[in-house]
Amino acid sequence: MRVKVVDQRSFEKALRRFKRECIREGIIADMRKSEFYDKPSVKRRRKANRARRRRLRMLQELQGD
């Protein structure tokens, strides 16, 4: 990924744009996810918890209407 720096812009602004692009592309999330090894049981538990929270959130939205 590249960010072009125009002569009149500062390095700090270019760095901020680069960080924003990395977040948008999901590079930071992938790095954090692969930083440590997770056992398969931990991955399954985390996946189930995410699904449970997603279902609860959807139910709350439906009941609120």
pLDDT of residue 65: 63
pLDDT digits (tens, 9 = 90+) for 3-47: 777 777 788 888 899 999 999 999 988 888 889 998 999 999 999
Domain extent listing, the chain? 1-34, 37-65
| Cβ contact 22:28 at 8 Å | yes
d(CA 43, CA 45): 5
User: Left, alpha or beta for 37 (phi > 0: left; psi -120 to 50: alpha)?
Assistant: beta
Q: What is the pTM of this model?
A: 0.50
